[in-house]
């Protein structure tokens, strides 16, 4: 039985980078976490310790910081595309590059009722994400761009049911027609274009996801996720699929009867674990698919 080297990649993870635009008295800030990963002909490094084809991870870090100035950082999708194309187009041993980015939002401080030009506080509602994967060169080059968000904590106090589920001898959960539904949403959406108003699309997709969570009378979290993804695809014809992951942040009605106190769906115990984890993808049936191997590499899992 032979032993061979399997799939491999390497890169520089979690480069914390802040880009401040000072072109006018009103400054702009972009606070990101950038990770790069390269694939290509790196077998010699693994098998013989030969680093001849290896672009150092420190070089990847330096490139990420310099590109924030050279190419700009106004949207994480366009910035990631510049980085990924650079590694593939200029480093001969590199066949494919993937760039993952998280963006941390800041909100301007109000001074005497007006927004301050150069002072912010961290705005922690959610973290914006993107990944860009570029493979090959020239006319054969393929590109996948995904936008996304994570840690979007959202809750509705009614309009959610859960009943009619399969039961067996171990089932203790009681059916309900009125429950609190809450989650910390993770969403990714795959583009079929490499040119878009990335910031506008992000805000639009987020607004759609939040609206659908609110207005869909939910018989199951699964149903809500499908309606959220469906609404995004209906709004943007250049998005091929939406992938959603929703841990169920359970809120259990607390028993106040030992104290002679009625609890009419008003006081809950918020339980963070264990939790149900509901995941779904909503896809156009005619959208080109990157394939199972590339799903994992491009983050579409």
* 271 assigned to a ligand binding site: no
Neighbours of 299 (CB within 10 A): 20
Nearest to 231 by CA among 200, 199, 196, 189: 189
Nearest to 216 by CA among 166, 268, 251, 181: 181
* 85 assigned to a ligand binding site: no
Residue found under tokens 């942040």: 249
* 162 assigned to a ligand binding site: yes
* 141 assigned to a ligand binding site: no
In angstroms, the CA 126 to CA 149 distance is 7
In angstroms, the CA 173 to CA 161 distance is 13
In angstroms, the CA 298 to CA 290 distance is 9
Nearest to 273 by CA among 248, 299, 239: 248
CA torsion angle 147 104 37 71 (round to 10): 80
* 268 assigned to a ligand binding site: no
Nearest to 133 by CA among 290, 262, 301, 20: 290
Widest CA span in the chain: 76
In three-state secondary structure terms, 280 is strand
- Annotated catalytic sites, by residue? 12, 57, 250
* 179 assigned to a ligand binding site: yes
H helix intervals, the chain: 43-48, 57-70, 76-90, 198-215, 221-235, 292-297
β-strand 268-271 against 250-253: which pairing, if any? antiparallel
Residues contributing to the annotated binding site: 57-58, 162, 179, 222, 248
Residues contributing to the annotated binding site for O2: 57, 248
Residues contributing to the annotated binding site for urate: 57-58, 162, 179, 222, 248
Residues contributing to the annotated binding site for 5-hydroxyisourate: 57, 162, 179, 222, 248
């Amino acid at each position: 039985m032979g032993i061979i080297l399997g799939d491999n990649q390497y890169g520089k993870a979690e480069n914390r980078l802040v880009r401040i635009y000072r072109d006018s008295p009103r400054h702009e800030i972009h606070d990101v976490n950038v990770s790069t990963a390269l694939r290509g002909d790196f077998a010699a490094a693994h098998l013989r310790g030969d680093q001849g084809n290896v672009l150092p991870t420190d070089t990847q870090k330096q490139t990420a910081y310099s590109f924030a100035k050279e190419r700009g950082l106004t949207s994480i999708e366009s910035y990631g595309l510049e980085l990924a194309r650079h590694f593939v187009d200029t480093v001969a041993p590199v066949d494919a590059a993937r760039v993952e980015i998280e963006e941390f939002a800041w909100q301007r401080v109000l001074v005497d009722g007006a927004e301050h030009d150069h002072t912010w506080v961290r705005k922690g509602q959610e973290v914006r994400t993107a990944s860009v994967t570029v493979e090959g060169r020239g006319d054969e080059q393929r590109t996948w761009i995904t936008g996304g968000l994570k840690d979007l904590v959202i809750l509705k106090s009614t309009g959610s049911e859960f009943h009619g589920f399969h039961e067996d001898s171990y089932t203790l959960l009681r059916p309900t027609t009125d429950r609190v539904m809450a989650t910390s949403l993770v969403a990714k959406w795959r583009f079929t274009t490499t040119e878009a108003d990335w910031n506008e699309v992000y805000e639009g997709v987020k607004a759609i996801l939040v609206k659908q969570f609110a207005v869909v009378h939910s018989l199951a979290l699964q149903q809500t996720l499908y309606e959220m993804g469906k609404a995004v695809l209906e709004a943007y014809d250049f998005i091929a699929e939406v992938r959603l992951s929703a841990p169920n942040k359970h809120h259990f009605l607390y028993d106040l009867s030992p104290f002679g106190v009625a609890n009419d769906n008003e006081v809950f115990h918020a339980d963070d674990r264990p939790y149900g984890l509901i995941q779904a993808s909503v896809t156009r049936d005619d959208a080109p698919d990157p394939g199972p191997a590339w799903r994992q590499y491009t983050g579409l899992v």
